[in-house]
Amino acid sequence: MKSLVILISGRGSNMQALIEAGLPGRIAAVISSKPGAEGLEIAKMHGIKTRVVDQRAYPDRAAFDAALAEEIDSCQPDLVALAGFMRILGSSFVDRYHGRLLNVHPSLLPAFPGLDTHARALQEGVKIHGCTVHFVTPQIDHGPIIIQAAVQVLPDDTTETLAARVLQQEHRIYPEAVRWFMEDRLEFSHNRVEVSGTATDGAVLYSPELHK
């Protein structure tokens, strides 16, 4: 049985989506970079072990990364999932978990990497926005893409309304990507990911609002 460690920094809504998805395998632990993260209480309510590696307790990124890696490795997970984890991880850390470190990003990568994705999408006047689950690489928000979901940008959208619709899709596609990993259905080389095995319920791009 494969196991998963989830990294959070805040409320952990994507963490909760993973917990409630009935994934194959087990969630070994939820680790937060902030002691007061709301997601810790949610994890505890589901009987999941929680740990804290307080980012403020370390003098630099390398020291924090080393402490975080030690906590993760003590759980011996097959997969590490970033779920609202608000820390940039160093290349040594990322390389340590090559091929088993996932993230969900609130844009249709490679568009709008980094922060403030919804505001930037509105500013640029795009008609379609969305979210992406990808393998993490040292280049921020540029890892091999596993699955994406698209939403239509409406004329009266604000950053809040657009973010809310995108978050709904994050909750949909992140558990799907993790499930595929747990079922050994993901294969990637260079910058391309293929999903093997049984049907993928319509492939790896969801666009619920565009096919009404």
Beta bridge partners of 205: 148
Answer whether residue 150 shows pLDDT above 80: yes
Whole-angstrom CA distances from 114 to 44, 173, 184 are 30, 19, 29
Domain identity same for 90 and 109:
no
Answer whether residue 125 shows pLDDT above 90: yes
Kind of pairing between the strands at 186-189 and 192-195 = antiparallel
For residue 198, the model assigns a pLDDT of 52
Q: What is the CA radius of gyration of the chain?
A: 17
Who has greater pLDDT, 131 or 210?
131
For residue 27, the model assigns a pLDDT of 98
Residue 114 structural domain: 105-212
Domain identity same for 74 and 111:
no
**Domain C-terminal end among 97, 123, 139:** 97
Domain identity same for 73 and 151:
no
For residue 163, the model assigns a pLDDT of 98
For residue 202, the model assigns a pLDDT of 47
Residues of the chain with pLDDT > 90, as a percent, come to 89
**Domain C-terminal end among 81, 97, 113:** 97
Domain identity same for 138 and 179:
yes
Question: 32 with 86: CB under 8 angstroms?
Answer: no
Instruction: Give this prediction's pTM.
Output: 0.93
Segment among 19-28, 38-47, 146-155, 195-204 with least mean pLDDT: 195-204
Answer whether residue 211 shows pLDDT above 50: no
pLDDT in tens, 42-76: 999 999 999 999 999 999 999 999 999 999 999 99
**Mean pLDDT score, 103-116:** 97
What's 69's domain CATH number?
3.40.50.170
Predicted confidence band of residue 209 (pLDDT cuts 50, 70, 90)? low
Which entry of 46, 105, 171, 190 is annotated as an active-site residue? 105
pLDDT in tens, 191-200: 899 998 755 4
Whole-angstrom CA distances from 170 to 35, 49, 117, 150 are 25, 24, 14, 10
**Domain C-terminal end among 58, 73, 97:** 97
Told to judge if 105 belongs to the known catalytic residues of this protein, a careful annotator would answer yes
The beta strand positions in 77-182, using DSSP E, are 79-82, 101-105, 128-135, 145-152
**Which amino acid would we find at residue 206?**
Y
For residue 206, the model assigns a pLDDT of 66
Please state, rounded to an integer, the average pLDDT across all residues of the chain: 93
